Structure 1
Amino acid sequence: MRTLCASTLIGEFFVIGFAGLVAMKDDSLSMATVWWVCGVAMLLSVLLCGMITRPGGVQLGWALQIALIASGFVVPVMFFLGAVFAALWWASCHYGAKIDEAKARWAAQAEAAEAGAPAPEAG
């Protein structure tokens, strides 16, 4: 799960940066505000790469997804991109967990085969 989620978060890092460039064109926003908000979101996306397997890591990732979608109020295309990345986040969490379960099952089967014991049932 960690690899898939981290890949999604790194993609978000770049999308947030590009959204910041687009948001700078809005005269009602100061450049400092745009880059503080984008900088914090970009930093969070990188830090979350290492926190995925820790308690609360996935939930913080969901909070980032919600913030990405909400950023559509400033940069309208982010409604679409935020929804795409939220779907990618869900897929990364869902299928990543399935991959982790399969790896654990294969490791248990290999360990049982080395010990000469009957392999655990797949299920």
Structure 2
Amino acid sequence: MRSLASIVLGFESIVIALSTIVMISIADVDPAVALSVCLGLAALAIVATGLLRNQVGYVLGWIVQAGAIGLGFVVPVMFVLGLAFGAFWVMAIVLGRRIEEAKRAHQSQAG
């Protein structure tokens, strides 16, 4: 589960960081605000990736998902991207748990 979640957060951090440019040039957001919000959220995604060994990382991951969707209020296309990454996040958790359960079942049969 951790590897799938880290992939989602890694790609999401790149997309969120690049949305800074969109916020400044298209949405006419103050550059200081755009830089602090977008790069702060991207940094939070990276921190969450590093903390995925603990439950804290997953909580931070959910906060990143909410923040990415929230950016849609400033740049409407971020609603789509935020929801897409939110769906990827949910899929990573659900499929990751299934993979871990299958590994445990396989190990118990082999052992």
Higher-Rg member (1/2):
1
- CA deviations over 1:36-72 (Å, ceiling 9, x no partner): 1111111111111122230232222112111111100
The 8 Å contact of residues 16 and 38 in structure 2, kept in 1 or not, is answered as yes
Aligned length: 110
TM-score by length of 2: 0.90
Q: Is the 8 A contact 2:23 2:74 kept in 1?
A: yes
Q: SS where residue 53 of structure 1 aligns?
A: coil
Measure, in 2, the Cα distance between the counterparts of 1:100 and 1:50. 20
TM-score (norm 1): 0.82
Deviations 1:51-99 (A, max 9, x none): 2230232222112111111100111100011111111000000010111
Q: 1:70: which partner in 2? A: 70
Identity of aligned residues (%): 36
Which consecutive residues of structure 1, in runs of 5 or more, have no partner in the other structure? 113-123
Q: Please identify which structure carries the higher helix content.
A: 2
Aligned to 1:82: 82
Q: Where do 4+ consecutive residues of structure 1 move more than 4 Å?
A: none
